[in-house]
């Protein structure tokens, strides 16, 4: 019997005792979004089941694991490798701080790999425990739709079982895509890059997004020779152009060879490694070629058409503001919907879904001022609008404040690498529209800025805030001098 | 490569070839280093740049502002086959791998920020013996 029914615009909310269904909610995919959606729904009293593929560090059609991409083959292992890689710079910087390191400093890739794998195995177990403690039924296997209320799970042994549910939540995430060039099978994706048996001495990376930039930093820090190829003039398309320039300069400063405006045209196996041919006719020999050219939604094997669930031209599931698909009782969150593909966004979408469907509080995810970070070395982190986006949206002039300085630590270590910070402000309202930073600890600092932006902070609020001294973060509250005033009409047309 | 040759001609030959390769790499950097030195010597202002780099554009813009009689000599590293080697040699000389790297009268001025700073402080005009008319 229904505990609560209400309408908010088109959203119908209901918690049932299952009625003629096995479950109130069946979730396909136990990644960040799926786990959050199932736990939160269960806390509202729903009877929930979730299916997930057996655990493996490298994903495939039949391998996955609780925790999903982020925990098993994404953010978490990546950050562990970033930590490992950062020590090279620390050792270099230590000399001028009086540390005399005598003898060789050797990097043991196998040990780091082992410890990383142990950690993701532990987290996979943690996620299973969390689900169990929440009263969620866990089913191992690949889920696909039979109709609007039925999911068929193919178990690891090949047997199939069907389950019915009043609501279905699809949270199957995304997977790395491969570029279609001759020899593409010789390349790897980020999945394999996080579990390589041997550390490459010579790495070629194709792509200009955050994954490409992060792996370039990781491998360079571990002593590899790295060549990074991307189509545009600068990496990190979609980020603030000025900050992209800073990142490119830092990558180059750390010894990574950048090849802008260049694509790969062919890979072939040679006695000395993989021969990489570019569209400019250059040839390079590499131990590893990483394709980091984007990700594609995991929607192909869900049999969506059986229930009438619509997808867009790249296979992303189409949803409304509440994450409802074209079928009223089927919902989707996270990367499979290709909105903002970040773990915390999937968590937000899943929480909103649970509140809407089982909590009696129709809630839309709020995509304004979502912060994010690129864990290059040093990292870039941003929240709110870039200068270019601000000009797109602005009705009045945009005020840009920047600060570029040598961090205090560098003045002793003599590392030539500036930290750059930037605030974008609406001249009419004085509201801070965006904040970005490239430099050590940027993500930790920008998380605080995100709260300020979410609260609608003005530049005057920033200016009246007392800084913490000495810190890099205090620069955000001491930027008094205007760098430039840009009018929406003078918006530069960039194609970087 | 050396391993393959070792199988065919014995390890001594392979070692010699490997050493020769090392030598040529080292001499490659040395020749690029002399290229950098001679280029810097031959021109009043030299900018080691990459055509797509916004920081490089900024440094070039500074010299446009100064309206020099003789334009800076610009080496676009991304448009040369030996660009990487020149960049390696530059890095050894000035301790930085980034571009641009600007030289004035044979002396290293620095990167983009250093160039802008020198321009704004009037130091660059002094180095180039340019009379700066003060706005009265």
Chain B partners within 8 Å of A233 (Cβ): 52
Candidates 3.90.1170.50, 3.50.50.60, 3.40.50.720, 3.40.50.1820; CATH matching A5-72+113-176+296-358: 3.50.50.60
Do B55 and A252 make contact, defined as CB atoms within 8 angstroms? no
pLDDT in tens, A310-332: 999 999 999 999 999 999 999 99
pLDDT at A2: 40
CA proximity to A382, closest of A374, A392, A371: A371
Do B96 and A404 make contact, defined as CB atoms within 8 angstroms? no
- At residue A92, does pLDDT exceed 60? yes
Give the active site residues of A. Answer: 469
CA distance A496 to A252: 17
Distance from CA of A252 to the nearest CA of B (A): 6
- At residue A3, does pLDDT exceed 90? no
Q: Name the fold adopted by A184-293.
A: FAD/NAD(P)-binding domain (3.50.50)
Say if A241 is an interface residue toward chain B (CB within 8 Å). yes
pLDDT at A490: 67
Between A163 and A9, whose confidence is greater? A163
B2-127: CATH class: alpha beta
3-state secondary structure (DSSP) of residue A375? coil
Chain B partners within 8 Å of A92 (Cβ): none
3-state secondary structure (DSSP) of residue A381? strand
Chain B partners within 8 Å of A282 (Cβ): none
Q: Are A171 and A332 in contact (CB under 8 A)?
A: yes
pLDDT in tens, A247-299: 999 999 999 989 999 999 999 989 989 999 999 898 999 999 999 999 999 99
Residue of A nearest to B94 (CA): A416
pLDDT at A492: 58
CA distance A337 to A365: 13
pLDDT at B117: 84
Between A22 and A305, whose confidence is greater? A22
Annotated binding site of A for glutathione: 32, 127
Comparing CB atoms, the residue among B1, B84, B96 nearest residue A253 is: B96
- Transcribe A239-282 into DSSP letters: S-HHHHHHHHHHHHHTTPEEETT--EEEEEEETTEEEEEETTS-
Residue of A nearest to B113 (CA): A404
Q: Are B68 and B124 in contact (CB under 8 A)?
A: no
The two structure tokens encoding residue B115: 């160039």
User: Residues spanned by CATH 3.30.390.30 within chain A?
Assistant: 378-486
pLDDT in tens, A351-380: 999 999 999 989 999 997 999 999 999 999
- At residue A121, does pLDDT exceed 50? yes
pLDDT in tens, A205-256: 999 999 999 999 999 999 998 999 997 989 998 999 999 999 999 999 999 9
First to last CA, chain B: 70
Contacts of B23 (CB under 8 A, 6+ apart): none
pLDDT at A10: 46
- At residue B43, does pLDDT exceed 90? yes
Picking from A229, A241, A245 by the largest number of B CB atoms within 10 A of its own CB, the best residue to mutate is A245
User: Residues spanned by CATH 3.50.50.60 within chain A?
Assistant: 5-72+113-176+296-358, 184-293
- At residue B16, does pLDDT exceed 80? no
pLDDT in tens, B79-135: 898 998 899 999 998 988 899 999 999 989 999 989 998 998 998 998 998 765 554
pLDDT at A22: 97
Do B97 and A253 make contact, defined as CB atoms within 8 angstroms? yes
CA proximity to A37, closest of A382, A322, A439: A322
Q: Taking the domain A378-486, which CATH number applies?
A: 3.30.390.30
pLDDT grade for A11, boundaries at 50, 70 and 90 = low
């Amino acid at each position: 019997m229904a505990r609560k029914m209400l309408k908010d615009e088109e959203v119908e909310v209901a918690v049932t005792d299952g009625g003629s269904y096995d479950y109130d909610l069946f979730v396909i995919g136990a990644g960040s979004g799926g786990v959050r959606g199932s736990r939160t729904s269960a806390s509202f009293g729903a009877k929930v089941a979730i299916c997930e593929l057996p655990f493996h560090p490298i994903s495939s059609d039949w391998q996955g694991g609780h925790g999903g991409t982020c925990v098993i083959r994404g953010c978490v292992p990546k950050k562990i490798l970033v930590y490992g890689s950062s020590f090279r710079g620390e050792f270099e910087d230590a000399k001028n701080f009086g540390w005399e390191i005598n003898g060789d400093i050797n990097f043991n890739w196998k040990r780091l790999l082992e410890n990383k794998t142990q950690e993701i195995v532990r987290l996979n177990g943690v996620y299973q425990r969390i689900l169990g403690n929440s009263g969620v039924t866990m089913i191992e296997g690949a889920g696909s739709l039979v109709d609007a209320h039925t999911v068929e799970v193919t178990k690891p042994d090949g047997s199939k079982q069907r389950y019915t549910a009043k609501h279905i939540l699809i949270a199957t995430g995304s997977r790395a895509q491969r570029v279609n060039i001759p020899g593409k099978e010789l390349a790897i994706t980020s999945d394999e890059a996080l579990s390589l048996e041997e550390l490459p001495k010579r790495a070629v990376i194709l792509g200009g997004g955050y994954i490409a930039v992060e792996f370039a930093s990781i491998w360079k820090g571990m002593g590899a020779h790295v060549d990074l190829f991307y189509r545009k003039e600068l990496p990190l398309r979609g980020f603030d152009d000025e900050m992209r320039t800073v990142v490119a300069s830092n990558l180059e400063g750390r010894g990574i060879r950048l090849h802008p405006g260049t694509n790969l045209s062919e890979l072939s196996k040679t006695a000395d490694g993989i021969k990489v041919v570019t569209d400019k006719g250059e040839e390079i020999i590499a131990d590893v070629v990483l394709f980091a050219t984007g990700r594609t939604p995991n929607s192909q094997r869900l049999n969506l058409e059986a229930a009438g669930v619509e997808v867009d031209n790249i296979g992303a599931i189409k949803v409304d503001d509440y994450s409802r698909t074209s079928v009223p009782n089927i919902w989707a969150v996270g990367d499979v919907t290709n909105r903002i593909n970040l773990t915390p966004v999937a968590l937000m979408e899943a929480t909103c879904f649970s509140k809407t469907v089982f909590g009696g509080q129709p809630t839309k995810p709020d995509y304004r001022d979502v912060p994010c970070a690129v864990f290059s070395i040093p990292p870039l982190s941003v929240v709110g609008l870039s200068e270019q986006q601000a000009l797109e949206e602005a009705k009045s002039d945009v005020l840009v404040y920047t600060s570029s300085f040598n961090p205090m630590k560098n003045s002793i270590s003599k590392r030539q690498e500036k930290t750059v910070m930037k605030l974008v402000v609406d001249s009419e309202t004085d509201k801070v529209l965006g904040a970005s930073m490239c430099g050590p600890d940027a993500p930790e600092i920008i998380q605080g800025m995100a709260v300020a932006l979410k609260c609608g902070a003005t530049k005057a609020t920033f200016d009246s805030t007392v800084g913490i001294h000495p810190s890099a973060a205090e620069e955000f509250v001491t930027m008094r001098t205007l760098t430039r005033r840009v009018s929406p009409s003078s918006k530069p047309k960039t194609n970087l | 490569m050396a391993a393959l040759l070792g199988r065919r001609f014995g390890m001594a030959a392979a070692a010699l070839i490997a050493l020769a390769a090392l030598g040529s790499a080292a001499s490659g950097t040395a020749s690029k280093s002399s290229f950098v030195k001679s280029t810097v010597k031959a021109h009043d202002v030299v900018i080691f740049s990459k055509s797509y780099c916004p920081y490089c554009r900024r440094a070039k813009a500074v010299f446009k502002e100064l309206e020099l009689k003789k334009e800076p000599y610009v080496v676009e590293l991304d448009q040369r086959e030996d660009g990487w080697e020149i960049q390696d040699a530059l890095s050894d000389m000035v301790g930085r791998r980034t571009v641009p790297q600007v030289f004035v009268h044979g002396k290293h001025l620095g990167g983009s920020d250093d160039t802008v700073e020198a321009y704004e402080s009037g130091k660059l005009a002094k180095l180039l013996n340019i009379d700066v008319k003060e706005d009265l």
